[in-house]
Structure 1
Amino acid sequence: MANVVVVYHSGYGHTQRLAQAVAEGAGAPLVAIDAEGNLPEGAWDRLAQADAIVFGAPTYMGGPSWQFKKFADASSKPWFGGAWKDKMFAGFTNSASMNGDKFSTLSYFFTLAMQHGGVWVGNGMMPANSKAAQRNDVNYLGTFSGAVSQSPADASVQEMLPGDLETGRQFGQRVAAAAARWKK
Structure 2
Amino acid sequence: MSVKIQIIFYSSYGHIYQMAEGMAAGAREVEGAEVRLLQVPELVPDEVLEKSGAKAARQAFAHIPVATVEQLPEADAIIFGTPTRFGNMCAQMRNFLDQTGSLWMNGSLVGKVGSVFSSTATQHGGQETTLTSFHTTLLHQGMIIVGLPYSETRQMTMSEISGGSPYGASTITSGDGSRMPSENELAMARFQGRHVAEIAKKQAQK
Q: TM-score, normalised by structure 1?
A: 0.87
Cα distance, 1:156–1:34 mapped onto 2, change above 3 Å: farther
Instruction: Tell me whether 1:20 sits opposite 2:21 in the alignment.
Output: yes
Could you tell me which runs of 5 or more consecutive residues in structure 2 were left unpaired when the two chains were aligned.
Answer: 29-34, 45-63
Give distance in 2, aligned partners of 1:128 and 1:102. 13
Instruction: Tell me whether 1:141 sits opposite 2:141 in the alignment.
Output: no
What does 1:142-181 correspond to in 2, within 5 Å?
Answer: 142-156=164-178, 159-181=180-202
Quick check: 79-88 or 27-36, which moved more? 27-36
- Return the index of the structure with the highest Cα Rg: 2
* Partner SS for 1:3: strand
What does 1:36-51 correspond to in 2, within 5 Å?
Answer: 36=43, 43-51=68-76
* Structure 1 residue 93: Cα displacement: 0.2
Q: 1:129 — aligned with what?
A: 156
* Partner SS for 2:153: coil
Amino acid of the residue matched to residue 20 of structure 1?
A: E
Quick check: 22-31 or 41-50, which moved more? 41-50
Instruction: Tell me whether 1:35 sits opposite 2:32 in the alignment.
Output: no
Q: 1:9 — aligned with what?
A: 10
Cα deviations across residues 29-69 of structure 1 (Å, max 9, x unaligned)?
111012128x9567334321100011110011111100000
Instruction: Tell me whether 1:78 sits opposite 2:103 in the alignment.
Output: yes
Q: What is the Cα-based RMSD across aligned positions, in Å? A: 2.2
What does 1:48-67 correspond to in 2, within 5 Å?
Answer: 48-67=73-92
Q: TM-score, normalised by structure 2?
A: 0.78
Instruction: Tell me whether 1:102 sits opposite 2:115 in the alignment.
Output: no
* Aligned counterpart in structure 2 of residue 117 of structure 1, from 123, 142, 167: 142
* Partner SS for 2:103: helix
CA contact (8 A) 1:55 1:109 kept: no
Cα deviations across residues 104-148 of structure 1 (Å, max 9, x unaligned)?
111122111100011111112235537xx4327xxx535101111
Give distance in 2, aligned partners of 1:174 and 1:98. 25
Cα distance, 1:45–1:150 mapped onto 2, change above 3 Å: same
* Partner SS for 1:29: strand
Give distance in 1, aligned partners of 2:175 and 2:183. 17
CA contact (8 A) 2:39 2:66 kept: no
CA contact (8 A) 1:128 1:141 kept: yes
Which 4+ stretches in 1 moved above 6 angstroms? none
Matched pairs, number: 177
* Seq. identity, %: 27
CA contact (8 A) 2:78 2:114 kept: yes
Amino acid of the residue matched to residue 3 of structure 1?
A: K
CA contact (8 A) 1:127 1:141 kept: no
